[in-house]
Amino acid sequence: MSKEGLLLVISGPSGAGKGTICQGLLKRDESICLSISCTTRQPRTGEQDGVNYFFLKKGDFEKLIEEDQLLEYAQVYDNYYGTPRSYVLDKLQRGEDVILEIDIQGAMQIKQKFPQGVLVFIVPPCLSILRERLTKRGTDSMESIEKRLHSVCEELTHTERYDYLVVNDNLEQALDQVEAIIRAEKSRPYRFDLKKFMKC
């Protein structure tokens, strides 16, 4: 008898498979949705407002910051990216589970502003497998891959601030583990709807 949906924050290094895990969760459970971020960058070909992102003017985004209407945000080069508080809370209040696929910086902001959110860090089984995955992608130069691998060690020092760590060695097993985390979190006593229980 959950009062509301669960906010699940997924982070991890590039190549860990966090995006694949998020998509796998969406396919397995219709009550889970992926949060839509807002940004000040221009839409790319094929992108739709309210589907891929909420595309905002810089002034409108900065107003959201001033009014504390973002659960987290960051400025990347000349553009802002962030998670709209009202969009996420509306989904949660309707009983939907919401996934945020964001970096460590954003996750720590969520932890501060929305402590009931559940933070999960996805890691590959080892550094050599991560190197192999990034190489097979064929989207990055070897120099870029080495920089990413170097940054992974720094990222892993922050994992103790997460609630859970999932090793993505086998995708199906990793998905099972994240689903088990969701079930466990929904069984916490504070999520029990006593008023609803008393009425029936």
> In the 3-class helix/strand/coil scheme, how is 37-75 assigned residue by residue?
CEECCCCCCCCCECCCEEECCHHHHHHHHHCCCEEEEEE
Amino acid present at 186: K
CB 115 within 8 A of CB 9: no
Give the residue numbers of the binding site.
12-19
DSSP 2: B
Check if the beta carbon of residue 42 is closer than 8 Å to that of residue 55.
yes
Q: Count the residues in the chain.
A: 200
Instruction: Extract the annotated binding site for ATP.
Output: 12-19
